[in-house]
Amino acid sequence: MFRSVARSAAGKHLIRRGYATEPVPARKVAVLGAAAGIGQPLALLMKLNPLVSQLALYDIANTPGVAADVSHVNSRAEVAGYVGEEQLEKALDGCDLVIIPAGCQESLALVNMISNPVNSTVPIAAEVFKKAGTYDEKKLFGVTTLDVVRAKTFYAEKAKIKVADVNVPVVGGHAGITILPLFSQATPKANLAEGDIKVLTKRTQDGGTEVVEAKAGKGSATLYAGAIFADACLKGLNGVPDVVECSFVQSTVTELPFFASKVRLRKNGVEEVLGLSSLSEYEKNGLESLKPELKASIDKGINFANQS
């Protein structure tokens, strides 16, 4: 998933791409909720990412132990642990990317919101940032990468093709029927029957429930997807061209104020929110069906944030 990093004679960090090496900018990443079930392995994945030079781990308790453990990994990032409200500002200071697997805090950096329900927590965060005068629609992301990961996996299994070669955009939201995989736009093209598409769509929508039930209610495996999207954000910040991922963002793709679709990532976050392209009749119906539920979740988040 990540490329290795070496240190030149001059002490500059370089990223290996085949035989070539390129300088890597210093990037500070914070994980808020780093001592929790998703936060700990996510912190480890960020420590292993060669694009991260500083890793700030924050939680309301137990963070120093997590930071001490993660800091022993022999990779580039320098690790610091922060605990309690009084240390939050220091944890966020100078961050390029903030990943939130739990809770919601202010930041001027790119913010990756993993906390469920994403359909509501992203609008909540937007309202909080507006009140603080720090809202930037280009820098707030709802992480829906797990839906894409599942859609790719299920599609590859059914089509009997290598999953590494597969791409499937997933639009809408990040819960139940609001998740709409666009299998008509999947590559490589497999020409699956409509019945198969319906089954794959339903399984993608129910993927979280499938995992939670298998784990007896102990939560879903969002950490891998969180790390993948964080890596994409860091590449965008570093100016890597044509970094495109699906994410739940402020949008005009539909009449809804927030919507998940493909976005192009660059140095300021969202460079472009991409449209839906052509949809099959099945997908058009799915899009119309998901809108009322997604709108209700968005409205619920906005109303919650603006309670007196």
Q: How far apart are CA 272 and CA 151, in angstroms?
A: 23
212 forms beta bridges with none
Instruction: Check if 72 is active-site.
Output: no
Q: How far apart are CA 60 and CA 37, in angstroms?
A: 14
Given 13, 174, 266, 295, which residue is catalytic?
A: 174
Q: How far apart are CA 214 and CA 219, in angstroms?
A: 10
Q: Over the Cα atoms of the chain, what is R_g?
A: 19
Q: How many CA atoms lie within 13 A of 231 on its CB side?
A: 18
Amino acid at 122: V
Binding positions for NAD(+) are 33-39, 59, 114-116
What are the φ and ψ backbone dihedral angles of 199, each rounded to 5 degrees?
-65, -45
Distance from the Cα of residue 143 to its chain's centroid: 3
Whether residue 30 contacts residue 42, with contact meaning beta carbons closer than 8 Å, is answered with no
Q: How far apart are CA 63 and CA 60, in angstroms?
A: 8
* Straight-line distance from the first to the last Cα atom of the chain, in angstroms, rounded to the nearest whole number: 45
Three-state secondary-structure class, residue 38: coil
From the list 175, 196, 197, the residue with the least C-alpha distance to 185 is 197
| Max Cα-Cα span within the chain | 60
Reading the block at residue 283, the tokens are 């997908």
Task: Give me the active site residues, please.
Answer: 174
